[in-house]
């Protein structure tokens, strides 16, 4: 009866040790588990002494000798725990000079000594036998008879007390208050266990009470450990919250667009820059998909196909510019890098985007400048060489037209003359682009200039079944500039407006003054209009939407307005609804 009860009691240190091991697998927790396992073996050893009705004296002696392994090996385990206290940086122990003796070499020596003690204990020099102790009030039990070398075991016990004293001193040097408190509880419990064991061994108190003392010490160690562990969890949770808040702040301060999508391509994490792009709060984006903010089905399909490939790990990294419509309705180019990430068995897509709209615009400006440079060099080198022979050819064509013998070829000669005039016009535009213009800056009355242009373009408008309307506004609209060049700009723009209306219509011209003092001339037609991507290319040399155009007319207009008059030309167009051109002059 007593044997079974003591065995069940001795299981308590083992079970609590397993709970600690499963809960946390740090090197310190392992050392505590090792101690509790040795304590379990020691208490099994004590329980064996109460198995007088179950084991013969020979069997009990053999099992008792083996069971002494627990009480012997506690000594190096205590030293190992103390060694960890000093060497693990997180513990923050203040180093003392005598700490140098607590090292791995000393630990190996103590392990070897404990194994030697255990080996002696297995022989008759350690435990030479057992005898039965009979009591009136307590159950009968076996009691060991020690051999001549049992003093090695007592020396081992002395080392244990010495280790406890050292461990208490080490604990006092710990900066971590929770670990410091636990270590002192640990030392006190071990001291209680061994004092209780010595008193029981020398029959000052009943032997079986040492088992209950061990259980009490185990419970104290277990509770102290979990109090320390729970506080550590609280600190960790607090640190995690702080780290999470810090990371969110870093993400929100980052100008890049950072967001994460799950396997359903829904946003699960979005930073402030991304929410600002769409003009939404971060919470409004979570759980949404791209189609909730982008009404371009082709682009949505393209993005979806690419992201499904990323989720399938068909590519480790994907980077390419994407079009996005911001909260103001402006088109922006976002260079997005997308990386598949596996977390807790699920694949996510980490996306980092950078706005490259201005970069692309700068590149387009550089490209246009290079084109203009090429056109300028080309014009400067060949324009005069073309114009000289062209003049001669034009003269001969006129002579042939006047010759009565060429009546049958007059239609051909007329076409030749018109085409020569067209070539001459192109060469003239090339020269205007290429060569620096002599500044002829005067005060120009824009109202008067526009009236002259209306008069000049009237016959062309009638030919195309178009009506020209100039909205007259009271006030003076004067700028400093080149009158002829400004007239050429308005002629080109009105000519384009007329030719954009194959079925006829009205070209409405208006002049007005803006709030900042600049003058705005708007020319609106009722033509076929332009797609947005075409508007972005207007002004590039040789880019035209006409069947017989050269693309140089608008290039000349941009050069005159931007470079000569520091102004700006803006286009607003929609397919099927016409185009409005605004010329803004300071």
Which segments of the chain belong to CATH 3.30.450.20? 254-355
Say if residues 116 and 134 touch (Cβ distance below 8 Å): no
Which segments of the chain belong to CATH 3.30.565.10? 442-585
Count CB atoms within 10 A of the CB of residue 381.
10
Quote the distance between the C-alpha of residue 500 and its chain's center. 49
pLDDT-based confidence at residue 31 (cuts at 50, 70, 90): confident
Could you give the 3-state DSSP secondary structure of residue 520?
A: strand
Report the pLDDT averaged over residues 5-25. Answer: 78
Say if residues 467 and 505 touch (Cβ distance below 8 Å): yes
- pLDDT of 506 higher than 60: yes
Count CB atoms within 10 A of the CB of residue 274.
23
Q: Which residue has the higher pLDDT, 206 or 564?
A: 564
pLDDT for 310 equals 81
DSSP string, 292-330: GT---HHHHHHHHHHHHHHHTTS-S-EEEEEEEE-TTS-
CA atoms within 13 A on the CB side of 61: 16
Cα dihedral sign for 109, 111, 117, 119? Answer: negative
Give buried/exposed letters for 138-159 (b at 16+ CB in 10 A, else e). ebebbebebbeebebbeebbeb
pLDDT digits 0-9 by tens, 122-145: 998 988 888 887 766 667 778 888
Q: Give which of 124, 227, 235, 242 is closest to 184, Cα–Cα.
A: 227
Token representation of residue 287: 């759980």
CATH for 254-355? 3.30.450.20
Q: Give which of 162, 187, 179 is closest to 89, Cα–Cα.
A: 179
pLDDT-based confidence at residue 90 (cuts at 50, 70, 90): very low
Q: CA 452 to CA 446: how far, in whole Å?
A: 10
Classify residue 229 by burial, with Cβ atoms within 10 Å: 0-12, 13-18, 19+: middle
pLDDT digits 0-9 by tens, 142-166: 888 888 998 898 898 888 888 888 8
Count CB atoms within 10 A of the CB of residue 134.
9
**CATH 1.10.287 for domain 365-434:** yes
442-585, which class in CATH?
Answer: alpha beta
pLDDT for 120 equals 92
The region, left, alpha or beta by phi > 0 then psi within -120 to 50, assigned to residue 511 is beta
pLDDT for 549 equals 56
**CATH 1.20.120 for domain 2-237:** no
pLDDT-based confidence at residue 101 (cuts at 50, 70, 90): confident
Which segments of the chain belong to CATH 1.20.1070? 2-237
């Amino acid at each position: 009866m007593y044997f079974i009860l003591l065995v069940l009691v001795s299981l308590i240190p083992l079970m609590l040790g397993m709970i600690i091991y499963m809960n946390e697998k740090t090197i310190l927790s392992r050392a505590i588990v090792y101690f509790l396992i040795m304590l379990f073996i020691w208490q099994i050893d004590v329980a064996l002494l109460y198995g007088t009705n179950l084991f013969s004296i020979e069997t009990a002696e053999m099992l008792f000798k083996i069971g002494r392994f627990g009480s012997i090996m506690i000594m190096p385990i205590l030293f190992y725990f103390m060694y960890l206290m000093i060497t693990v940086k997180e513990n923050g122990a203040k180093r003392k000079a005598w700490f140098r003796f607590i090292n791995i070499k000393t630990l190996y020596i103590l392990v070897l000594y404990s194994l030697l003690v255990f080996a002696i204990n297995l022989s008759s020099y350690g435990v030479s036998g057992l005898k039965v102790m009979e009591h009136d009030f307590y159950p009968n039990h076996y009691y060991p008879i020690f051999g001549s070398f049992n003093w090695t075991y007592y020396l081992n016990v002395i080392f244990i007390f010495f280790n406890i004293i050292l461990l208490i001193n080490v604990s006092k040097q710990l900066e971590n208050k929770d670990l410091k408190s636990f270590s002192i509880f640990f030392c006190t419990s071990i001291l209680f266990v061994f004092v209780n064991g010595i008193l029981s061994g020398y029959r000052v108190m009943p032997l079986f009470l040492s088992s209950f003392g061990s259980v009490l010490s185990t419970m104290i160690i277990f509770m102290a450990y979990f109090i320390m562990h729970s506080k550590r969890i609280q600190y960790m949770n607090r640190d995690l919250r702080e780290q999470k808040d810090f990371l969110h702040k870093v993400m929100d301060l980052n100008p890049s667009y950072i967001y994460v999508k799950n396997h359903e391509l829904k946003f699960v994490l979005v930073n402030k820059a991304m929410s600002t792009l769409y003009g939404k709060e971060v919470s409004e984006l979570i759980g949404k998909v791209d189609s909730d903010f982008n009404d371009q089905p082709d682009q949505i399909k393209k993005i979806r196909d690419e992201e499904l490939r990323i989720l399938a790990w068909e590519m480790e990294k994907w980077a390419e510019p994407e079009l996005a419509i911001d909260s103001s309705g402006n088109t922006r180019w976002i260079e997005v890098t997308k990386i598949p990430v596996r977390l807790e068995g699920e694949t996510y897509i980490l996306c980092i985007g950078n706005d490259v709209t201005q970069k692309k615009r700068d590149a387009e400006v550089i490209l246009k400048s290079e084109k203009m440079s090429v056109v300028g060099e080309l014009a400067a080198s060949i324009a005069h060489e073309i114009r000289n022979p062209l003049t001669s050819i034009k003269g001969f064509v006129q002579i042939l037209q006047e010759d009565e013998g060429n009546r049958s070829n007059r239609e051909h000669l007329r076409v030749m003359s018109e085409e020569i005039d067209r070539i001459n016009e192109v060469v003239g535009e090339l020269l205007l682009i290429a060569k620096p213009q002599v500044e002829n800056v005067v005060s120009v009355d824009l109202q008067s200039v526009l009236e002259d242009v209306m008069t000049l373009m009237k016959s062309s408008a009638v030919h195309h079944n178009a009506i020209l309307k100039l909205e007259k506004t009271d006030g003076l609209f004067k700028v400093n500039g080149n009158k002829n060049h400004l007239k050429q700009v308005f002629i080109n723009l009105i000519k384009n407006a007329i030719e954009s209306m194959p079925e006829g219509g009205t070209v409405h011209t208006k002049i007005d003054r803006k709030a900042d003092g600049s003058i705005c001339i708007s020319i609106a037609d009722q033509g076929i209009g332009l797609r947005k991507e075409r508007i972005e290319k207007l002004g590039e040399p040789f880019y035209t939407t006409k069947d017989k155009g050269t693309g140089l007319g608008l290039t000349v207009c941009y050069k005159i307005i931007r470079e000569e008059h520091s102004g700006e030309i803006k286009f607003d167009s929609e397919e099927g609804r016409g185009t409005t051109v605004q010329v803004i002059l300071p």
